[in-house]
Structure 1
């Protein structure tokens, strides 16, 4: 994850449209006595049986965990709870051979969703990719990926990115490659949260995980005064205009969020006298954002978040 931190810092130091406000970070940190603990499954929407099937569920969930906003009624909750219900109804729903055969309408039926999903063809393609590579390299089981990583979140992210192209969340910014790995990292974070740091969720280096740069966290950071937008970018977001994937604005929104939260984490750790995990900050910021109905986030059609 050093690549994520280093390339995000590189972007933040050269950013034209997004500024990480050091005074804003200090102001926010001064108001925080401690990071509010947010339970991983605080809404009860996820499948959990404390075994390999939960790992399979989480990997399928995180393969599909992107781009809800084009459908105003669709949210992450629908995806998580829909997949949970599908698995409760049929324990073989996410078997590797079946993942390779789903069609768009079948995926909708699986989720109980009445109309085409945003980027539906991409979602189906990624399901096929996951099923194929799980069958080819991991005996069909996502749990075998986890067991191959040696209790290292960094190794897990690297394994997932190496074997599954749909998780390779890279961009090029001003001639330099930027690494963000939102969905690969959230798989590690979900395992850690679901299994409470034990069993399949035991990672000796969970502190290596950064935040998962998405739509919600930048908007929350901007609302807190940690991020400042240029007038042009602010107008684009307020007007609900699309921002192209890989554009300077889009990369800056995500990379500056990573860098800002790393700075927040460092200050909070010093203030509290104990290490603070970026994954804890991410869950707190994300939970705050999804509960704020007036939050305006940027709009980008992307398979990465």
Structure 2
């Protein structure tokens, strides 16, 4: 069956990401999604195996279940804005140097094992201060960007867990009865730092990147014992960041208007919530949705936007041939 490529969101759409980004992506300016490039890419990737990363071993999956869930929430509270000019923030651990997201994973692993910090403890999170978090995230090159925002995020997570969930993220997860979308929405409701929204043409546009990736990581790394499997993961969207659109642009799937291409290639910082940044992120959401449709048709089995996102993000770790990613100072990704 040949998939159709349009900007019609599913009904119902409780997450609201596809519905709210559809008008932005459909406008096609300053970012256009190329359907022919989607088809070419899908045909090339139809038989590709799921990517694997050696760095996955950096995650503290050996923690007891309750501690692991809290650790994961901490990870996602800090999972944003790793870019900077050289020398970039990097973290060395176990004989290797890491940057970006993997530097965060390495820093948390070092904090657990070398520094002996109770990173899983909601009380520790709620009381953390800038010197403590700065030491946890110490590295080579520049300091980690947006440290004050990271402190605020971690404190918020700890405070909410203590005040509403008896200090355990698993209690919040359990309240959502295994529903992936309900969990993402509950995270956004409970933790304002995850409320990743913008305004375009007078309407609210939802992205919820970190809330969705928190749910996806919980499923991918294995939900703690007693929680059961999460369902409805296929209703999650791509996690609109700066690496995935970089790869989509290389593949010709996202086509930037000349002025935007010049700004991105010149490493001009785009305003958070501005029309250019919102267009890139909306285009990313819909490009991944279209790729998922095309791959599902080619494989004869469901492929989710979450799967596509992971494939593209993994491809973005190989920087060869990639134009610069767009630069936006934001705590949402």
TM class by shorter chain equals over 0.9
- Conserved in 1, the CA contact under 8 Å of 2:67 and 2:121? no
Match of 1:30 in 2: 43
Residues 14, 235 of structure 1: CA spacing in aligned structure 2 closer, same or farther, 3 A cutoff?
Answer: same
Which of 84, 102, 105 in structure 2 is aligned with 1:80? 105
RMSD: 1.9
Q: Does 1:250 align with 2:251?
A: no
Match of 2:84 in 1: 70
* Structure 2 unaligned regions, length at least 5: 1-13, 90-99
- Conserved in 2, the CA contact under 8 Å of 1:40 and 1:193? no
- The normalised TM-score by structure 1 is 0.94
Residues 199, 8 of structure 1: CA spacing in aligned structure 2 closer, same or farther, 3 A cutoff?
Answer: farther
- Conserved in 2, the CA contact under 8 Å of 1:87 and 1:94? no
Q: Please identify, of 67-76 and 204-213, the stretch whose mean Cα deviation from structure 2 is larger.
A: 67-76
Cα displacement (A) at 1:33: 2.4
Residues 153, 301 of structure 1: CA spacing in aligned structure 2 closer, same or farther, 3 A cutoff?
Answer: same
- Conserved in 1, the CA contact under 8 Å of 2:68 and 2:224? no
Residues 196, 94 of structure 1: CA spacing in aligned structure 2 closer, same or farther, 3 A cutoff?
Answer: closer
Q: Where does 1:182-261 land on structure 2 (aligned, <5 Å)?
A: 182-195=209-222, 200=227, 202-261=229-288
Higher relative contact order (CA closer than 8 Å, sequence separation 6+): 1
Q: Does 1:116 align with 2:129?
A: no
**What's the secondary structure of 2:16's corresponding residue?**
helix
Cα displacement (A) at 1:2: 4.3
Q: Does 1:19 align with 2:47?
A: no
Q: Please identify, of 194-203 and 32-41, the stretch whose mean Cα deviation from structure 2 is larger.
A: 194-203
* Structure 1 unaligned regions, length at least 5: none
Match of 1:265 in 2: 292
Cα displacement (A) at 1:35: 4.3
Match of 2:130 in 1: 104
Q: Please identify, of 188-197 and 217-226, the stretch whose mean Cα deviation from structure 2 is larger.
A: 188-197
State the alpha-carbon separation in 2 of the partners of residues 293 and 35 from structure 1. Answer: 19
- The normalised TM-score by structure 2 is 0.86
Q: Does 1:95 align with 2:108?
A: no
